[in-house]
Amino acid sequence: MTQSVSTDYLKEIMRDAKLRTLELVQGLDAQQLIGPKLDIVNPLQWEIGHVAWFHEYFILRQKYGRDKILTEGDRIYDSIAIHHHTRWDLPLIGIEETLQYISDVHDILIERLDDGMASEQDSYLYQFTTFHQDMHNEAYTYTRQTLGYPTPDFASARPESTEAGPLTGDAEIPGGEFLIGSPKDAAFVFDNEKWAHPVTVAPFHMARAQVTNAEFAAFVDDSGYETESFWDPEGWQWRAANDAVHPVYWQPGENGKWGIRRFDRIFDLPPHQAVIHVNWYEAKAYCRWAGRRLPTEAEWEFAATANGDGGKRAYPWGNETPDAQHGNIDGRALGVIDVAARPDGDSLHGVRQMIGNVWEWTATVFDAFPGFSPDAYKEYSEPLFGSTRVLRGGAWATRGRMVDATYRNFYGPDRRDVLAGFRTCAL
């Protein structure tokens, strides 16, 4: 069971998550809030209501037996029962009513918390539902990118003003036996992290930095997307079906140069920033071209958590919670930064930016750990076992309160709308 936390902390993270939601829908018109019917997005007006419903359903109704706030809420917002393609056709409530619903649920949840320490049950439920909102806030962020909406306006944003450059070479990781996953006394655990169990990692060499735009451009320019031998059969089939010839938001420019679309603007491709919005197939093809490979999930966690004494750190740099010095997280930079930035976030062996900037694809299929059992939201992990790939580390829009070096993200190998890149290992 989750450790008890203070009610002040729960109130703080709830208020912050709500603010980020409001920032992400602010300034969008009625048409943008619905948007086109695509497999990879939800109508934003539906999605923000779903998050409020999720808070209400799992805490107020399931655990505390309160009546529905919205009579038709289950018929509109239950993501498990409502097929994705029908969400544009639902009798959605208006945006003002939706925002009022969000505020009503938020206020009731805040009001029922006394001062002092929350119960273990409230500590888990309030954190999990807030982290669920954090995940959706990240999804709203890349939805704005997918649809070419303006850059979101985050009050906490502090865009980078300097270029840190590239970071080349490999770190030598000694390997050994360690416990992958979360222990039973962890402060908070997602169900797919249950439970810590021993694995042995052989010594390996891991790139100190994430793959950069310049490095990936060399693959593209060397006919990487046209050379079938670089691709797995499924990846080649995906590439052909989608007519992919470069990363999805790259745009050919003059004299062989590349541009990139970020939200609703076009920029020259920054050479030393981590490549982002590439899928697992693209990452694998690059690795084959480069004579490299993706790390396994176990290798990634070992490199990120090793403390030198056979134990684990919570984060690559230690056990201090992440801040702006450690990684590009929380949306502060409003995008990807150079891979040489944030040296304070280095792991024991000198691997940089393992938390933040871009989610990192691993070679591992997302599956259950020994001892897995689903938590209150039974559909969180289990339906995706076997069909998705593990990503680690968080991205620039991921909330630092949610992600650590044991956090497992998972997406289908064809997803390149998400905030994903990768780093490589030596063969």
Structure tokens given for 150: 């303006």
- Averaged pLDDT for residues 343-369: 98
Q: Count CB neighbours of 167 within 10 A.
A: 21
Q: Please report how the helices 280-290 and 233-241 are oriented relative to each other, as an axis angle in degrees rounded to 10.
A: 120
Classify residue 61 by its DSSP letter: I
- CATH assignment of 158-427, among 3.90.1580.10, 3.40.50.450, 1.10.3720.10, 3.20.20.70: 3.90.1580.10
Q: DSSP alpha helices (H): ranges in 242-313?
A: 280-290, 297-305
Whether residue 1 is predicted with pLDDT greater than 70 in this model: the reply is no
- The residues near 378 (Cβ < 8 Å, ≥ 6 apart) are none
Structure tokens given for 205: 């060499």
Looking up tokens 């029908």 gives: 86
- Averaged pLDDT for residues 196-225: 98
- The residues near 110 (Cβ < 8 Å, ≥ 6 apart) are 11, 14, 15
How many helices (H) and strands (E) the chain has is answered by: 10, 13
**CA torsion angle 364 277 214 405 (round to 10):** -50
**CA torsion angle 183 187 192 194 (round to 10):** 20
- Averaged pLDDT for residues 5-25: 98
- The residues near 136 (Cβ < 8 Å, ≥ 6 apart) are 21, 47, 48, 50, 51
- The residues near 389 (Cβ < 8 Å, ≥ 6 apart) are 280, 361, 362, 363, 364, 365, 366, 410, 411, 412, 413
Classify residue 57 by its DSSP letter: I
Residue 185 phi/psi, 5-degree rounding, is -100, 15
Find, among 98, 81, 105, the residue nearest to 44 by Cα.
Answer: 98
SS3 content of the chain, % helix, strand, coil (to 5): 35, 15, 50
Looking up tokens 């040296």 gives: 343
Find, among 332, 410, 424, the residue nearest to 365 by Cα.
Answer: 410
- Averaged pLDDT for residues 375-393: 96
Classify residue 265 by its DSSP letter: E
Classified as helix, coil or strand, 1 is: coil
Q: 66-110 pLDDT, tens per residue?
A: 999 999 999 999 999 999 999 999 999 999 999 999 999 999 999
Please report the pLDDT score of residue 391 as a whole number.
99
Between 376 and 124, the more confident residue is 124
Q: 261-305 pLDDT, tens per residue?
A: 999 999 999 999 999 999 999 999 999 999 999 999 999 999 999
Looking up tokens 């689903």 gives: 374
Structure tokens given for 52: 């409020």
Q: 112-140 pLDDT, tens per residue?
A: 999 999 999 999 999 999 999 999 999 99
Segments making up each domain of the chain, as ranges:
7-146, 158-427
Q: Which amino acid is at 172?
A: E
CATH code, 7-146: 1.20.120.450
Q: DSSP alpha helices (H): ranges in 93-183?
A: 95-111, 120-146
Q: Count CB neighbours of 38 within 10 A.
A: 15
Q: Which amino acid is at 370?
A: P
| CA distances to 197, 253, 292, 330 from 422, in Å | 25, 25, 12, 19
To the question of pTM greater than 0.95 for the whole model, the response is yes
- Averaged pLDDT for residues 361-373: 97
CB 332 within 8 A of CB 324: yes
